[in-house]
Amino acid sequence: MKRILGVFSVVVFTASVFAQQSPAKNPVSSAVREILPRQQKKLTEAVGEMPADKFSYKPTQQQMSFAHLAMHITQSNNYLCAKISDTPAPKQPELKDTDAKDKLIGALKASFDFCNAALSKVEDSKLGDPVELFGGRQGTRAFAMIALTNDWADHYAAAAMYLRLNGLLPPTAQPKK
């Protein structure tokens, strides 16, 4: 009898734990919001790691400069987060490859601030809605969210490569402090 009561107690306890863990209301948009701070930290630290005199560095003539990469991340963040959230992109002065490091880092940080605010309102129920993507192509909000997270990973990989080619360690390769 004690054994049956013990098993019954475990079953009741387990069922009550699972009942408290209801499925997330917005699992996709919540996952992107969870990814954002980590990518924001890595990307802003990577851009900050490059010395100002190396912002014109290009691994090859065909590749973009490091400054252009920083500018591109900023523009991608503002564009995609605006499309995903159906929020107007922030007004910013036009960025150029020749802008100072401080200006490019400030714009990058502002773009991540915008993404944090814009994505806080996104719900999965709208992921199937059509949005205009780069080049006037049509896609869904879900596509834009996946493109955004892919962009962050791709841009960090590029920034890490540029840093390593200049004898610097990217943030994720540096020893823990």
Q: Does domain 23-171 sit in CATH 3.10.100.10?
A: no
Alpha carbons 171 and 175: distance in angstroms, whole number: 9
Distance CA 170, CA 9 (A): 51
Please report, for the chain, the start and end positions of each structural domain, with discontinuous segments joined by +: 23-171
At 74 the pLDDT is 97
Q: Give just the sign of the alpha carbon dihedral 150, 129, 72, 106.
A: negative
User: Chain-centre distance of CA 139, in angstroms?
Assistant: 19
Predicted confidence at residue 24, as pLDDT, reads 78
* pLDDT tens digit at each of 177 positions of the chain: 455 434 334 333 444 444 444 467 899 999 999 999 999 999 999 999 999 999 999 999 999 999 999 999 999 999 999 999 999 999 988 999 999 999 999 999 999 999 999 999 899 999 999 999 989 999 999 999 999 999 999 999 999 999 999 999 999 999 987
Q: What angle do CA 115, 47, 98 make, to 5 degrees?
A: 100
Residue owning tokens 């943030």: 171
